[in-house]
Amino acid sequence: MTNVVGIQSARTETDLFPEGATGRRAFSPRRMADEALRLFDVGRLAGDLRVYRDGAYRADDERLREFALDVLGDDFTPRRFADFAATLSMMAPALPDVPDPRLVVFDNCTVDATTGVQLVHSPEHRATVALPVAFDARAKCPNIVEFIGDVLDEAFHARAWEVVGHCMSSWNSLRAFAWLVGLPGQGKSTFADLIRALVGGENVAAVQPHQLADSPFAGAALVGKLVNLAPDVSAADLRSVSFLKSTTGDDLVTVERKFSQPVAAKIFAKHVFASNTLPTFSDVSGAISARVKVLEFERQTSRPDDPHLRGRLTTPDELSGLAVQGLRALYELRQRGSFTENDHTRRALASFRSSTNTIAAFVDECCTTGPDLKVRRSDLWRAFTEWADEGRKGARTSKTAFFATLRADHAVTETKVRGEFYMSRISLVCAPGSVAS
């Protein structure tokens, strides 16, 4: 299809709806939909209509409403518009849940992130998201580079660029999400604002992690978005993490929508959460701590009261430079298949893991591991349940899950000695039941 708005105009009601025998014109949603498809590139994403404009299929009810007003004139009614839109939705071709993960659409061109080649905008790319930034391969962002150096230890600089790059495309194979940790005035909110400015507000959702757990409709807000940005996450316990886990990869999930039928969709929005302190997850299996990428904002910015800081960081030139930095980091992420790690990032992960993975925390606090250790299975389970009851609310899990996690995450094995079961490669510290093999 070719977008010919401005070259051809919509046919009028007289042309589309000939008079019948009674002299009245019969309204036909099907004819209106055919005309819309003649004039526009229209697609359907998770039941919602999208109109192609400037490189991407976008939610554009206003353009469709203007079309309906042009066609119907004085006979326009909300009911007729709804009938037309419903018919058009049935006729419009489906767009992919996940647009081409190689492509990043900018205001002035489309870039293949795997090669760096610039492409002319085309509806054939079937893109459903576009960044509101002009791409310039020569652009720099000196103010943003200075800001990153101001608020983050050098050990986290590469990860900061990787988080930015990860948010720029629909590629979502790393099963990872970002958590920004730091006190007020240490730059995490400004960093989140940079991501929002780069990818564009229309491509950002703002769903809190506890909403993903508690609300059946929260997932609908993530469909078709590049980023889920929640900058002020509560430190309250988060009891369920199943939906968070299912939306940090390529899983097909069922999305509940108010007043509509549920739809199955792949969500490619990258979660970026921020909080003053680490929250408490009920993540006994360690699945969340295996996916989180922590950025520690531990430095007080040198310009905490600068009212113009955000403005200087989000000029068109700075954002173009940020896009170049992000694309470079995205390319390296794809080549490596993982985020960079160093001693600082591993310590940050250990801190997060201790607060979220209760079994890992128990092992860290109450056990030691090694090839020549073993402990009675019953003593280990008793120690965990007593530890969990001493103020670790929500830490209890089933015996089966407890020992399965130990085997999977800590290379613990089970042996039977004279009719009694022992767990090998682990022992309790300062507790009865530990023996040397």
Q: What is the pLDDT, as a whole number, of residue 365?
A: 83
- Least Cα distance to 102 among 184, 166, 169 occurs for 169
In angstroms, rounded to a whole number, what is the distance separating the alpha carbons of residues 264 and 140? 41
Q: Would you place residue 82 in the very low, low, confident or very high pLDDT band (cuts 50, 70, 90)?
A: very high
Q: What is the pLDDT, as a whole number, of residue 231?
A: 82
pTM higher than 0.75, yes or no?
Answer: yes
Q: In whole numbers, what is the pLDDT of the chain averaged over residues?
A: 85
* pLDDT tens sequence across 216-248: 787 888 888 999 999 888 755 565 567 777 778
Q: What is the pLDDT, as a whole number, of residue 292?
A: 87
In angstroms, rounded to a whole number, what is the distance separating the alpha carbons of residues 437 and 425? 10
Q: How far is CA 93 from the centre of its chain?
A: 26
Pairing of the two strands 434-436 and 367-376: antiparallel
pLDDT value at 356 more than 50: yes
Query: Do the Cβ atoms of 327 and 111 come closer than 8 Å?
Result: yes
In angstroms, rounded to a whole number, what is the distance separating the alpha carbons of residues 83 and 89? 10
- Kindly list the structural domains of the chain, giving each domain's residue range(s) and its CATH number in brackets, ordered by start: 13-91 (no CATH), 142-352 (3.40.50.300), 357-436 (1.10.10.10)
Give the percent of the chain with pLDDT over 70.
Answer: 84
